[in-house]
Chains A and B, each alone.
Chain A
Amino acid sequence: MEVPILKQGHYLIASIQSALTDADLSQLREALIERVGRFRARGVIVDVTALDVMDSFAVRTLRDIAHMARLRGSETVIVGIQPEVAFAMVQLGLTLKGIATALDLEEGLAFLDQPVERLGDKRTPGGPRP
């Protein structure tokens, strides 16, 4: 099943609706990386709220998405990991180290908005010029 990818401002939001096969996950990775370029996206949010299991392949794919998007100049946030899914992931040894996560879509958007604000701070009078 194909994952819908929405464009909202400078961000892409991939909202996973149901269980995904390995092929679906790989397809999502290709689609997101291509769209980061096409839409000049600064941020990517992958919403996994609907996933009731995350195994090593899913985590590896999310990690790949985050790394590839970063190489293309876009920051990724994984949002909506359910408590039981988090528990099973830790038992499996899957941690998403170095990858931004947020509780839900709202927090994810707030996270992506941060760096822009920080950049704005630098431009305040008296501060260092970029």
Chain B
Amino acid sequence: MSGVLNLSIAKDVDVVRARQQGRELAAKAGFSSGDQTVIAAAISEIARNILTYAGYGEMSLDVQTNGDREGFMVVARDQGPGIPDVGRAMEDGYSTSGGLGLGLPGAKRLMDEFEIVSVAGQGTTVTMTKWRRLTS
């Protein structure tokens, strides 16, 4: 199962579209409806972060098989100002935008793997994966 979906995130409708397409792709790949919801919620948080902090960015959604498991991978990239203190940004309730401060730590809890790389003045990349076991 392949076919990377590349989405640009520039407006609030793009956030809705990203999570809908994420859900669809996850459904097609055989993820449970619970996992589809979890993936869609994580996509929503990360896509909104792009809008709030960078204004524009790109998100790619992909499904890859690795041995006996299948991974739904989300890569979100922006060329925004970057996160000065990634450690703090990963804490629950910490926000510099007046939000709830649950976007990044929440998305991390929702997904199985989560990595964030941010360079001041260059941007932020979030890579996250949700796994499911393939049954033969």
Contacts and interface: CB of A to CB of B under 8 A. Distances in A.
Chain B interface mostly helix, strand, loop or mixed?
helix
Interface string A49-72: 000111111011000000000000
Chain A interface size, as a band, is: 20 to 34
Contact of A84 (B34, B44, B106): B34
Contacts of A93: 92, 100, 102, 105-106, 109
B99 interface: yes
B3 to A, nearest CB: 22
B36 to A, nearest CB: 8
A22 B105 CA distance: 20
Given A57-B48, A92-B110, A21 B15 contact: yes
Contacts of B100: 56, 59-60, 93-94
B73 interface: no
A92 B12 contact: no
A5 interface: no
Interface string B88-110: 00001000000110110111011
A23 interface: yes
Contacts, number: 76
A103 interface: no
A87 B23 contact: no
Chain B interface size, as a band, is: 20 to 34
A85 B19 CA distance: 13
A56 B93 CA distance: 11
Interface in B1-29: 12-13, 15-16, 19-20, 23
A19 interface: yes
Interface string B33-49: 11011101100110010
Interface of B: 12-13, 15-16, 19-20, 23, 33-34, 36-38, 40-41, 44-45, 48, 92, 99-100, 102-103, 105-107, 109-110
3 closest cross-chain pairs (CB), A and B: A92-B106, A55-B44, A84-B37
